[in-house]
Amino acid sequence: MNRAILQVMVRGRVQGVGYRAWVEHQAIASGLEGWVRNRRDGSVEALFAGAPNHVADMVALCRHGPPSSRVDNVTSETASADELNLRRAGEAFSVLPTV
């Protein structure tokens, strides 16, 4: 199976607006694995793993976010399976603590 793993940084008004919960819901609905977390600098970081087209679609969704958010910038880069292992054991997709 062809698989993509991308790490994404989202900047804007993305904390305190349900962004992480929205990402978790969208990722699970898309059959993706990975995680999402807030960062102390006010950004949201996420990692998505799965079929390349589903990962690309998820990154595109992140550019819009939930209705109460304001996304200013989204960057992504290829990641490794090691970063995927940050999720909680037994979960396909995790909401992780702030770093």
Closest CA to 44 of 28, 62, 26: 62
Candidates 2, 3, 11, 38; catalytic one: 38
Active site residue 20: yes
Candidates 20, 53, 73, 88; catalytic one: 20
Closest CA to 76 of 11, 32, 25, 2: 11
Active site residue 38: yes
Closest CA to 27 of 61, 1, 3: 61
Query: Among all residues, which ones are annotated catalytic?
Result: 20, 38
